[in-house]
Amino acid sequence: MIVAAGMGWPNLDEDEIVKVMACGVVIIGLLWLAGYIIWDIIQSELYNARAHRKEKAQAEQAEREAIRADREWRQQLRAEGWPPGIEELPAEQIREIVQQATAVHHKVAAALTHSQQPLYSLI
């Protein structure tokens, strides 16, 4: 082979020129493929980082919304006249208290409507 003997490009025959050109194309193709793979890995990492930040932001937003809803619920309880600390009770116990209060209210209302006595005499 003339290239191996150091005689250079102008002294190559047609078969050797085709081989050199094919090797050059293969090398360029491999370099392009390596660059594409690296670019794809970088894009994948960027996409994953964005998705992670988005999920984290959504979780933080949901947590802020839950805190805000809890604060509004506590303010509503206080505005309705519930004693301080009632919001610390479990939801089942609060439901039970509300049911008992509603039952008492209905009993008092029924007693007042069915009673023949004037309202001031019951006080």
Residue 27 · residue 17 · CB < 8 Å: no
Does pLDDT of 24 surpass 80? yes
CA distance 5 to 15: 16
Query: What is the structure's pLDDT at 120?
Result: 56
CA distance 114 to 116: 7
Query: What is the structure's pLDDT at 71?
Result: 86
Average pLDDT over residues 14-28: 91
Distances (CA, A) of 122 to 67, 116, 118: 45, 11, 7
The full length of the chain comes to 123
Query: What is the structure's pLDDT at 97?
Result: 82
Does pLDDT of 2 surpass 80? no
φ, ψ for residue 7, nearest 5 deg = -85, -15
Residue 3 · residue 15 · CB < 8 Å: no
CA distance 90 to 13: 92
**Nearest residue to 69 via CA among 93, 89, 87:** 87
Which range, of 38-42, 60-64, 86-90, 104-108, averages the lowest pLDDT?
86-90
| Helix (H) / strand (E) containing 70 | helix 14-79
The domain ranges of the chain are 1-81, 89-118
Average pLDDT over residues 81-110: 80
Q: Which pLDDT tens digit goes with each residue over 44-94?
A: 999 999 999 999 999 999 999 999 998 888 888 788 877 777 767 777 887
